[in-house]
Every structure is written in structure tokens, then in C-alpha cells.
């Protein structure tokens, strides 16, 4: 009988008991330490003959940067605008050029009229403080010490570049929405699928380079590498670029609503084709570049990545599939140790406000990001979040390399889980 844990992909070895105890803070280590995950995925090959290492080696910092730069030509890519639709078209064209067959998901977004906001005299509405990111209560957010308010910039005058301000000026319009995805079809188990996602829309009157050009480019680069003609995977992998994340995860929610019930159905019957393979796991990527630490006493932040910078891998401890998601997160951390070149990974248990949330009760789901969502981002550790300064030129190669290390982490993990090999 197959182990229940194979739902998050075969290939897990022994879970690190000490790390599990750190996640939950109580004595579950003894229960988990003895669990050996039965595997169907390939065993790790010697370093000299490891196809996963070869694939990870195909990631390139300059290509990753160039993909982010390509996304910034569409400004903030705010949903419901022509610039957003042009960005969707561009993403689809890139995916097709990689040899990854694309599809689009269609849905409607018709929110109620916005409530009147108290405006500053003679100016635009006051910025919204995103206090919903803060975890309250004992053991919640580290909203102590030196922090800064987290706001969404809605003031076009805050963008000093007139060309970018003009590009971002056309407002969002309710109505039809589209988002694109492509699929690497598995060679022996096409009916099973991993989903790699990132949202492509942004806000704040900048270029949305980090939030979330950095995650979108990461997923696109993985699609490029895994769609190469000499790569085959046993299981299918879907690369999804969500829309409408900034308005409440509507694009991801629409995907779950439309596609969850179609999982594993062969169509046409006996064709060997599965339009929606059974979901094994969902891995989200959202803001990958900035880990400069807590604001200083004077409110400024370090211009360099902090020495403790890392890739955060989060699962949600309250999800129905939390135990499996935790094991998936630690598998990704182990992949980081094996394949990432510069930055380590840390596992956290509070995944929130990102596109993996609609999936987390259906399938083991995790999120990779630059900071802990509630404890760091929500406490103002990134001054460019939803700001006009979220531009390509804001970030250094050390910042971009943090995103590249997240790509190395995901590619190393997913290539093993999906059974990636190189054709002779």
C-alpha cells in the first residue's frame, strides 16, 4: 500500500526531528523521527552523475535578471488594465518560446464599488496601512523593537519618473480577467502534477520588480529549463502565473474553483491525456529579493543583504494538509542545502496572504519568499513593498542572487520529486 505521505511526492528520506521540534515547539520529534517516507522518485545520484545538479546548473543570474527586466516594461501590471493584459501576452509568448504549451484560465472580477476614503486636502486618498499582515497575540508577530508602518502607495505623484507614472496611470476596470499557465507533461505518470506558481500583477506605482516580478521570473526560468528537449519528468509540472493576487488572490481562487473537480480525469477517455492531473503539491513564489533586516533606530535600512539573509519556506500550520506541507517544506530545505550556492533556507509555519492559500486545504502547499510574511514583511522590513521604489534599478546583484537561490532550491526539489532525467 502506498504511504499517505507520497501525496507530497515520493523521495522524502528521514525527517529531521530536531527541526520539527523547532517548528512546533513541543515534543512531536519522537513521533516524526522514525517515519521513513516510501519512495517512487529516483534516489539521489552521485554528484558526478546527478541530472538534478546539471539542471540547477543551467540557472543563470543574468537570464533571471533579464526576465525580471522584461516584466518591468509593463509598469506595475495592475490587474484590469491594458498593461496587465500586455504582460499576460508577453509571458505567454515567452513560455511558448521555451517549448512549454500554454493555456489560459478565464474568470470575472467585479468587486463592489470602493468605499470612500478620507482624502488629504487637495491630494489623493491616504495610503492604506496593511495591518492585516501583522500576527497578534502571544507568539505572534515580532512587532517589537524598531519597525515601520506597512502601507500601500496610492499616490501617483510619489512616482518621480514621468514616463513610468504615465504608464501606470490608466485605472483598473472591472470585468473579464485572464491568466496563463503551461505544462510539462510527465512521461510515465502524466496524471499526477506539481503546481509551481507566482502572481504577475502588482500595485504601488512602481515596476513591481520584486512584488512579484521576482517570483514570476523564477517560475518562468524553471519552465524554460524543464521544458528543454533533453529533459523528461515522470510526473507533470504546471507553471502558473496568477493574476489578481493583489486584490485578494482572485486568480488562484478562480483556478481552484474551476479546476479542482477536474483532477485526474482522462479526457478524451483512454487518450492518456489529463487536462487537470491530480495535484500532488502546490509551491508558490512571492517576493524573492529583499532580506536587509529590521529598520534601524532612525527608520533607515541596511543597503546590503543582512548576513543572516535566507530563503524562507513557509507552510500554514492551520491548514488541513499541514503535516504533509511541513514535510514538503523540509524537503525543500534539504534541496537548498544540496543545490543552492549562496543563501540557506529556513522553514516557518505561518504561510498567509499569498496564492498558495486557496490550495492549502486541497493539497500540501508551501510558499518560498524573501522574508517571513507576517513577522518581517508585515512589520515593515521591506521599504519597497507596494511602493513606487519597487523598481528594477533598486536592487543589487546580491538581491537578485537571493532570488536565484530560491530558484535553485525549487528546481532542485521539484526535479527530484517529479523524477527529472536527461535524455541520452
Q: Rounded distance, CA 94 to CA 349, Å?
A: 34
pLDDT value of residue 99? 98
pLDDT value of residue 383? 92
CB–CB of 96/104 below 8 Å?
no
pLDDT band at 376 (very low <50, low <70, confident <90, very high): confident
Q: Rounded distance, CA 363 to CA 353, Å?
A: 17
Q: Where are the beta strands (DSSP E) in 298-364?
A: 311-314, 345-348
pLDDT value of residue 295? 86
pLDDT band at 46 (very low <50, low <70, confident <90, very high): low
Helices 61-72 and 82-97 sit at what angle, rounded to 10 degrees?
A: 150
Q: Rounded distance, CA 409 to CA 341, Å?
A: 9
Locus of grid cell 543563470: 60
User: Does 12 score more than 60 pLDDT?
Assistant: no
How many other C-beta atoms can be found within 10 angstroms of the C-beta atom of residue 416? 27
Q: Parallel, antiparallel, or unpaired: how do β-strands 128-129 and 189-199 relate?
A: unpaired
Query: Over the stretch 209-229, which tens digit does the pLDDT of each residue have?
Result: 999 999 999 999 999 999 999
Burial per residue of 357-391, b for 16 or more beta-carbon CB atoms within 10 angstroms, e otherwise: bbbbeebbbbbbbbbbbbbbbbbbbbbbbbbbbbb
pLDDT value of residue 5? 38
Q: Rounded distance, CA 221 to CA 410, Å?
A: 11
pLDDT mean across residues, the chain: 86
Across 26-30, 45-49, 175-179, which has the greatest mean pLDDT? Answer: 175-179
CB–CB of 168/98 below 8 Å?
no
Q: Parallel, antiparallel, or unpaired: how do β-strands 311-314 and 345-348 relate?
A: parallel
pLDDT band at 377 (very low <50, low <70, confident <90, very high): confident
* Segment among 26-30, 51-55, 85-89, 166-170 with least mean pLDDT: 26-30
Q: Rounded distance, CA 367 to CA 284, Å?
A: 4
Query: Over the stretch 193-207, which tens digit does the pLDDT of each residue have?
Result: 999 999 999 999 999
Query: Over the stretch 64-101, which tens digit does the pLDDT of each residue have?
Result: 999 999 999 999 999 999 999 999 999 999 999 999 99
Report, in this order, helix, strand and coil percent for the chain, each rounded to 5: 35, 15, 50
**Domains, the chain, ordered by start:** 49-110+126-422 (3.40.630.10)
263-268 average pLDDT score: 93
pLDDT value of residue 48? 60
**How many Cα atoms sit within 13 Å of 330 on the Cβ side?**
21
174-187 average pLDDT score: 98
Query: Over the stretch 293-338, which tens digit does the pLDDT of each residue have?
Result: 988 888 888 999 998 999 999 999 999 999 999 999 999 999 999 9
256-274 average pLDDT score: 93
Q: Rounded distance, CA 362 to CA 239, Å?
A: 18
Q: Parallel, antiparallel, or unpaired: how do β-strands 278-285 and 365-369 relate?
A: parallel
76, 88, 204 from 178: Cα distances, Å:
17, 8, 21
Helix and strand numbers (H, E) in the chain are 10, 12
Q: Rounded distance, CA 315 to CA 60, Å?
A: 28
* 118 vs 21, residue with greater confidence: 118
Q: Rounded distance, CA 194 to CA 281, Å?
A: 5
pLDDT band at 292 (very low <50, low <70, confident <90, very high): very high
Query: Over the stretch 111-163, which tens digit does the pLDDT of each residue have?
Result: 988 776 544 444 455 444 444 445 555 554 454 555 666 789 999 999 999 99
Q: Rounded distance, CA 289 to CA 170, Å?
A: 28
368-391 average pLDDT score: 90
Q: Rounded distance, CA 341 to CA 64, Å?
A: 15
Q: Look at residue 361 and give its three-state secondary structure.
A: coil
**Residue % of the chain over a pLDDT of 90:** 72
CB–CB of 381/287 below 8 Å?
no
pLDDT band at 36 (very low <50, low <70, confident <90, very high): very low
Helices 215-226 and 82-97 sit at what angle, rounded to 10 degrees?
A: 20
* Segment among 67-76, 172-181, 300-309, 394-403 with least mean pLDDT: 300-309
Amino acid at each position: 500500500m502506498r504511504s499517505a505521505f507520497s501525496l507530497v511526492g515520493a523521495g522524502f528520506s528521514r525527517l529531521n526531528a530536531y527541526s520539527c521540534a523547532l517548528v512546533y515547539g513541543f515534543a512531536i520529534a519522537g513521533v516524526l523521527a522514525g517515519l521513513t517516507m516510501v519512495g517512487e522518485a529516483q534516489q539521489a545520484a552521485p554528484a558526478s552523475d546527478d541530472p538534478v545538479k546539471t539542471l540547477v546548473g543551467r540557472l543563470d543570474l543574468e537570464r533571471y535578471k533579464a526576465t525580471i527586466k522584461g516584466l518591468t516594461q509593463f509598469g506595475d501590471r495592475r490587474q484590469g488594465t491594458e498593461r496587465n493584459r500586455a504582460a499576460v501576452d508577453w509571458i505567454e509568448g515567452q513560455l511558448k518560446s521555451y517549448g512549454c504549451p500554454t493555456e489560459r484560465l478565464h474568470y470575472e472580477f467585479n468587486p463592489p464599488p470602493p468605499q470612500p476614503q478620507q482624502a488629504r486636502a487637495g491630494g489623493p486618498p491616504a495610503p492604506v496601512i496593511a495591518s492585516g499582515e501583522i500576527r497578534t497575540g502571544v507568539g505572534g508577530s515580532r512587532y517589537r523593537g524598531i519597525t515601520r508602518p506597512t502601507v500601500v502607495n496610492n499616490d501617483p505623484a510619489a512616482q518621480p519618473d514621468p514616463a513610468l507614472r504615465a504608464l501606470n496611470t490608466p485605472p483598473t476596470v472591472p470585468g473579464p480577467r485572464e491568466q496563463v499557465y503551461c505544462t510539462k507533461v510527465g512521461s510515465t505518470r502524466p496524471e499526477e502534477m506539481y503546481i509551481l506558481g507566482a502572481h504577475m500583477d502588482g500595485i504601488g506605482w512602481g515596476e513591481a520588480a520584486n512584488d512579484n516580478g521576482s517570483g514570476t521570473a523564477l517560475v518562468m526560468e524553471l519552465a524554460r529549463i524543464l521544458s528543454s528537449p533533453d529533459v523528461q519528468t515522470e510526473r507533470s509540472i504546471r507553471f502558473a502565473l496568477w493574476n489578481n493576487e493583489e486584490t485578494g488572490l482572485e486568480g488562484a481562487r478562480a483556478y481552484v474553483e474551476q479546476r479542482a473537480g477536474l483532477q485526474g480525469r482522462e479526457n478524451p477517455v483512454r487518450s492518456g491525456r489529463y487536462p487537470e492531473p491530480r495535484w500532488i503539491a502546490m509551491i508558490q513564489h512571492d517576493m524573492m529579493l529583499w532580506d536587509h533586516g529590521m529598520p534601524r533606530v532612525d527608520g533607515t535600512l541596511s543597503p546590503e543583504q543582512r548576513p543572516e539573509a535566507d530563503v524562507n519556506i513557509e507552510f500554514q500550520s492551520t491548514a488541513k494538509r499541514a503535516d504533509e506541507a511541513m514535510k514538503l517544506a523540509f524537503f525543500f530545505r534539504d534541496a537548498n542545502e544540496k543545490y543552492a550556492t549562496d543563501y540557506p533556507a529556513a522553514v516557518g509555519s505561518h504561510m498567509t496572504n499569498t496564492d498558495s492559500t486557496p490550495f492549502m486545504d486541497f493539497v500540501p502547499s508551501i510558499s518560498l519568499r524573501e522574508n517571513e510574511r507576517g513577522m518581517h514583511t508585515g512589520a515593515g522590513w521591506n521599504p519597497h513593498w507596494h511602493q513606487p521604489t519597487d523598481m528594477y534599478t533598486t536592487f543589487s546583484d546580491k538581491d537578485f542572487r537571493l532570488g536565484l537561490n530560491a530558484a535553485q532550491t525549487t528546481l532542485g526539489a521539484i526535479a527530484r520529486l517529479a523524477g527529472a532525467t536527461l535524455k541520452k
